[in-house]
Structures are given as C-alpha cells and as structure tokens.
Structure 1
Amino acid sequence: MTDPLSHSYYSATAHDWLVDADIEGAYACDVAVIGGGFTGLSAALACAERGFSVILVEAERVGFGASGRNGGQLIPGLRWSASELEAEFGRERADALFDLCWRDNRVKHRIATHGIDCDLKAGHLEAAWTPKDFDAMRREADYLGQRHSYETDVVAKADMDAHIASPLYHGGVYDPQGGHFHPLNYAIGLAKAAEAAGVRILQGKRANWILDGNGGELFLDRSTIEARYVIDATDSWIGEVEPDLGRYTVPIMNYNIATAPLANADALLPTDAAVADSRFVLNYFRLSADKRLIFGGGERYSQTPPRDIAAFVRPFMAEVFPQIANAEIDYGWGGAVAVTMNRLPHIGRRGNVFFAHGFSGHGALITTTAGELIAEALAGTAERFDVLASLPSRPFPGGKWLHRPLATLGLLYYALKDRLG
C-alpha cells in the first residue's frame, strides 16, 4: 500500500530486514499479537523469552504507524507530571507509576541487550513558552528532586542558548535521562530480536476480528490463527479490530520535516538534546545522526493531510529558528496519534485478550514498558501490569458517530487558547 504520509527520513534510512513468506491455512500458537509497533513487538519479544509460541500480525509493515513516524523523542514519564499523579492517586500508587514510567527505561535496556543500531542519544529539554510555564517547570523539577531523588537541570532564560539557538523560550528543564533515537530502526531492531527469540512476524496481513472466550481467533485473508491469548496493539487502528475500544481515543494528525544536512546544526542545538516546548499544540525537534533538523509542528484534526507537508511545517520551524527559515527540506511526513480524553494510556484485558493504546503522543518509552508488562501479566504476574491498567479511562462522549466531532471541538478550543496565550 502506498501511503502519502510515509515519505519520511526514517523510511529512507531504515535498516534492511527480510519479511516472512506468505501463509495460508490454519495456525495455532500460545500468543497472537496484532500490530507491529513498539507495543506489539516488545510484547511479542517478551512473551517469546518466557517460552510462549508467538505469531505477530501486522497489516502493513513493522513500524508503519506512529512507532516508525514519530519525532524520535524519548521523554520519561507520562503526559501528567509526577506531582499531578500523586495529587490524583495518592503517594503509594504514584510511586509505583513513577518507578515504571520514569526510572525503568526498557528502551535503553533493549537497545543495549540486542545491540540495536538506532542512533540513540542522551538528553531531553522541555522549553517554556511562557514565564508561567517556566515557573511550573521549576516547581516540578524541585518536586522530582526532593520527592524522588530524580535529578534534572533547571535552565534559566539567560542560559537557554547553551541548549538552543532561539530567543523564544523563557527557560526550561533539561533531563539527562531522556533522549532521542531513530524510531523505525528501533522497531526493526525489536523485530529482529523477536524473530531470533522465535516469534513469527507476518507483514501485510490484516486481522479482521477477534473472537474471545477462552482464547481468540484471528481471521486473515487466506488463513486463521487460533491462540490462547491475543494482544491487541493496534493503537490508532484499534477501532477496526475492536470497535468499542475505538471510542476511547481520537486520532490527531502530526507532521514532521527533515531538512537537508545543516552546516550550522551544532550551533542550533549545542547539547544535541531533543527539545519539546510547552504549548498545547507543541513544537518538538532534534538533530538526526547526519545533522539534519527533524522538526514537528502544528497538528490537524482532519485525516486529510496538507497538500505540501513541508510548506505546512516550515513556518513553525522558521518561528523557532529564523536563521534556517529557508533551509532545504528533504522529507515531509505525518501520521496519526491516538489521544485519550485524559491523555493517559488505556491499558487492560478482557479475559485472555490484552490491549494497550492511547499513548497520546508520549509513547516512545512507555510503549515498550507496556508491551513487556502485558507479557508479565500473561505469564501470571500481573502486579506491575495492574499499575498501568488501573489508570482511569473513559470513552469520548457522543457514541459511535459523534465522539470524534465532539472531541475535535474540545481540542480546537485548547489549541485556540494556546494561540491567544
């Protein structure tokens, strides 16, 4: 399938990987995984490591969705701050979430364990769009240090040029535990590790539906897979497999560009950290291994992409970095981000069917953790899985036909507030 949004820097620089041959007939396994993104791949790998027979089905190709198109930013935590989690859920539950979502970097572990070549770099900077935002960041940094002994570096406005050559920001917080990477090559690295562990990966195979009971059955074009357990890791496409779960998220379209290699790349981002700012419709950017600026900016609530993605994103880049306003842009791409009502992921199980989706643009780290926790629960140890599965979630109002339009109106409201300051 030719995807008009897939002209990405990542696909152009992806590692080679051989796909499995076509299959026909009936197959059986312990675990069937639907979706070849970070969640599905990490779940499949972790299940195989526990001795389960695993078949993973991907409708397109590994990393086709958000896992292979995102900004490559590795941001510890969730969309809620650690202090917000404690205020909402209490100390004990917040501590468990903090240990999973801030301290336990499963991405770094997988990269090191399997020797995945994905341009991993350290450092993430959250940049304050307003003085009020910076005050909130500074308070959160103090809380992290005092409450969790989690050290970050508060950067005053006068010192921001050590990190970013832009006058727009009013300070920020640098987190050395964060970082950035080549997401598609990470996905391919997970796929190779999963195959080496015994997982059979089938690309270009769309699972039509799940029948759940004691187990599940996937119906493909010319074959069926019967499994004791099913893991649905389809994220933005979950409504096509399990329509009622589709009501828990709405898709937001994000767009990225990659410039040609820049002679002044190191001057733009001297510490080579990934950067995301504090606006509701945020800008996020970083340098690639070959010194391109990869920049994401703006979002659309229509599924129709702009005619010229580069032209759509360029003004946002030029606002942050006027010195490269006319830089040559080699790649422009986009994709859907599945967003929940409260911006926390929706994770759970129904009998022997597990699911995880709605990472709300904050999933490059937590998706790998979620996949591995599903494998733990499937193997009989559910304590850590339950920490994430207990996060509150509810469907968007409006039923099957109106939940997306109503959610879009709400998102547009907050985007307008963002523009008006």
Structure 2
Amino acid sequence: MTDPLANSYYAATAQAWRPRAFDGQDCSCDVAVIGGGYTGLSAALACAERGFSVILIEREHVGFGASGRNGGQLIPGLRWSASELEAEFGRERTDALFDLCWRQNRVQARIANHAIDCDLKTGHLEAAWTAKDFGAMQREAEFLATRFGYQSAVVAKQDMANHIASPLYHGGIHDPQGGHFHPLDYAIGLAKAAEAAGVRIWEGERAHEITDTAEGLGVITDRAHIGARHVIDATDSWIGQVEADLGRYTVPIMNYNIATAPLANADALLPTDAAVADSRFVLNYFRLSADKRLIFGGGERYSQTPPHDIAAFVRPFMAEVFPQIADAPIAYGWGGTVAVTMNRLPHIGRRGNVFFAHGFSGHGAMVTTLAGELIAEAMAETAERFDVLADLPSRPFPGGKWLRGPLATLGLLYYALKDKLG
C-alpha cells in the first residue's frame, strides 16, 4: 500500500534490504509467524535456532510498522514502575518481571551476537516535567537500588544542563542500562539473522485468517495456505484484522516524529548523547542520530488521519523544549500507530498452539524482542518465563467495535488535559 507516513529518516538511511517475495514453494512448516516487526522477527529467529522450520509472512516489508519508525529509545522495564508492579502483584511476581524486563537486555545481546549495525548508543534520561514528578522519580530510584541493586543516577534540576540544554525540567533519572538505536536497521538485522538461521520470509503477502481444522493449524494468505504446527500472531496494531476478538484489547494512537537537518550545535543540545523522554502522559521524546540530527517525537492524535504537515505539527513541541533551534530545517516527518492496552501492559498469551503478543503501548523497543524469544521457549515446552508475561492482567476496552475507540479517546484526552494543567 502507499504509505502517507513513510517520509522517515530511518527509511532514507537504512541498510540495504531487497524485498523477499512469496517463493511459491511447499507451504508447510513447523511455525508460521504473522508480522515482520521485532516480535515476529525475534520469535522466528529464536524458533529457527531451536530447530523449527519457520515461514514469516509480512503484508508490507520487515519493520514497516512501529518497529521501523519508532523514536529509537531503548527503555528498560515496562510502562509500570517496579514499585507499582510490586504494590499490585506482590514481591515474588515482581522479582520475576524485574529479572525479565529490566535485567534481560535481549536487544543488546542480539545486536552483539549478529553484529547488527544500528547506531547503538547507551544512556537514557527520564526528565521530570514537574517537581512532583521528580520526587516520584527519586523514590523509584531509591526503591530500585535498595530492592534490586539496580543503579541509576538521580540528576538534580541544577545539574540537568549536563544532559540537556533546556530549562523546562525539574530533574531526572539517568539510566545507563537504557539507550537508543536506529530501529529499522535493527529490524533488518534481525531479518537477516533469521534468514541465515533458515527462516523463509515472504513480504507483500497478507495473512487473512488463522484456521484450525481437523487437518491442523494453518494460515490463509493472499496466495497460499500454510500448514503449521504452531502459529504466532505478531501483528500488533493490525491484530484485529487477523483475530477480531484480540483487536478488542487495544486501541490505536497516532504518534509523530521529525528529524532535523544535521545540526552544528547538536552535541550542545544533548551533551551526554542520551535518549530523553519526559514524564508527561502525552510525552515528548528525543535523541541525536548518528549524523547529528535531532529526532523528536511530540504530540499524539486519536484520529487515524495524519496531519497535513507532520513537521508543522511537531515543530511547536520541539521549539518548547529547545527554543534555540525553533527554526531549524526539518528534513523528515513521519508517524505511525501505537497499539495501547487498557492498563498499558502488553497482552501476551496462547490459545492452544496459537501464540500472540501485542499492545506494547509505546514501550516495546526492548520487550518485543524478549516476548518473541519467550514464545519460542514456550513452543519448546519451557513456558515458565513466558507465563510471567502471559499472566499480566488484561481486559478488552469497553464499547464494542464502534464505541471502543471513542470511549478510549475520551480517557486519553482527560490525561492529556492533566498534562496541560500541571
């Protein structure tokens, strides 16, 4: 399809990748994977490494969705803080979640194992929009250090200039375990590693339905019926097009990014070259690219229609944070859909031999790779770690097919208004 949101810095600078078309060969395998984002690619790769034969189907191209157009921020953990998880789920479950989602940096491991060239940098800064937010960050940093021995650096307001040339923030937390990267290059790197492990990738091939008959599981695509022992649905924002009932668990939010032209003062804007995300509900997030552009994400829209001029839509958010580059040339403007769950925790599970993972709620750059690998573990009959994520609570949005989106939008607008009121 023609993508009106494809004017992406990542697409313009990605490593070489030729399209992988339907090969017309035998359509049976151990594992059929639907979706060529991080979840599907990492699951396909991990399954192939365990000796399964794998076919991966992608309607567009690998990394087409959020995996290839996100802000490139690598943030350990989940959307809930560790202290929130412990208050809700208790000590034992939080220990298991922390070991997986904070200590297991599977993205960094994959990059190292497969020599993926994706501009990986270390360091992530969470910036406090209010003094109250900074107080909460301090308490969380102390909790992480005391409870888990997890070290991050509290940055007082007067020291924020060491990290960011903006007066807006009341302090922050610098996490050296986080970082940033070129997200599409990472997706392509995973795809190349998966092919090297034996995965067959079909791009430009739409999956219409997962079938479960007396003859076994299968996936119906535009030009084939793939018989499989296991199916992995990793379509995230589009999951409702394959499994309508799972589509009830998320709503789509449109998110937009810009990339400036290379900046002579780039290093002065972000002296430690950390990725930054602030503490607002509708947050700003930004970082420097390898060629010294500012990549900035700001604002959300709950309509699926993108703004006529993405650069003009995002520029005011950038100018608020960095007035010194308010008029900087913007070379790229793009966007995409984020699938958000009711509680902002991912929805992961299985139904028989059909596995699914979606709803990463804008916090998926790291946990998607983990989710794919845990699905492969569970498929190999070692489900203990998979169950840690699969047991997270989830429920569908109210309102049915027609009202689910509008009702969710009202809730999101409420929190956006709280941002503005402080």
Instruction: Specify the code of the residue in structure 2 equivalent to 1:88.
Output: E
- On the 8 A contact 1:212/1:352 being kept in 2, the answer is no
Superposition map of 1:68-217 within 5 A: 68-212=68-212, 215-217=216-218
Query: What code does the residue aligned with 2:183 have?
Result: P
Q: 2: distance between equivalents of 1:39 and 1:212?
A: 23
| Counterpart residue number, 2:58 | 58
**Mapping of residues 5-404 of structure 1, within 5 Å:** 5-24=5-24, 27-212=27-212, 215-404=216-405
CA contact (8 A) 1:23 1:223 kept: no
Equivalenced residues, count: 421
C-alpha contact (below 8 Å) 1:253/1:303 kept by paired residues:
yes
Shift of 1:401: 1.6
Instruction: Work out the CA distance in 1 between the residues paired with 2:348 and 2:65.
Output: 18
Cα distance between partner residues in 2 of 1:19 and 1:202: 9
State the one-letter code of the partner of 2:128.
Answer: A
Please tell me the residue identity of whatever aligns with 1:289. Answer: A
Alpha carbons 2:211, 2:220 under 8 Å: kept = no
CA distance in 2: counterparts of 1:106 and 1:201, whole angstroms: 22
* Identity within the alignment, %: 82
d(CA) in 1 for partners of 2:196, 2:25: 24
| Distance in 1 separating the partners of 2:359 and 2:294 | 27
Q: How many Å apart are 1:399 and its aligned residue?
A: 1.2
Post-superposition offset of 1:25:
6.8
Q: In structure 1, how many angstroms separate the alpha carbons of the residues matched to 2:40 and 2:213?
A: 21
1:387-419 alpha-carbon deviations (Å, 9 max, x no partner):
000000000001122111111111111111111
User: How far does residue 211 in structure 1 lie from its aligned partner after superposition?
Assistant: 1.1
Report how far residue 175 of structure 1 moved.
0.1
SS of match in other structure, 1:159: helix
Q: Which runs of 5+ in 2 are unaligned?
A: none
User: Does the 8 Å CA contact 2:347/2:359 hold for their aligned counterparts?
Assistant: yes
Paired with 2:403 and 2:26, the residues of 1 have a C-alpha distance of: 38
Give the TM-score normalised by structure 1: 0.99
Q: Is the 8 A contact 1:212 1:351 kept in 2?
A: no
Q: Tell me if the contact between 1:29 and 1:54 (Cα under 8 Å) persists in the aligned partners.
A: yes
Matched residue of 1:23: which SS?
Answer: coil
Give the 3-state SS of the residue equivalent to 1:208 in structure 2: strand
1:2 positional shift: 1.7
The answer to whether the 8 A contact 1:25-1:224 is kept is no
**RMSD over equivalenced CA pairs, Å:** 0.9
- Residues 76-98 of structure 1: CA deviation (Å, up to 9, x unaligned): 00000000001100000000000
Deviation (angstroms), 1:39:
0.2
CA distance in 2, matches of 1:248, 1:221: 26
| Counterparts of 2:107 and 2:411, CA distance in 1 | 33
The structure 1 segments of at least 4 consecutive aligned residues displaced by more than 6 Å after TM superposition are: none
> Does the Cα contact within 8 Å between 1:275 and 1:284 map onto a contact in 2?
yes
Give SS of 1:370's match: helix
User: What's the CA shift string for 1:344-365, capped at 9, x where partnerless?
Assistant: 0000000000000000000000
DSSP-derived class of the 2:27 partner: strand
Q: Secondary structure at the match of 2:164?
A: coil
Cα distance, 1:331 vs structure 2: 0.1
Equivalent residue of 1:360, what SS? coil
Question: Retained in 1: the 8 A contact 2:21–2:204?
Answer: no
SS at match of 1:103: coil
Query: Does structure 1 retain, via aligned residues, the 8 Å contact 2:233–2:355?
Result: yes
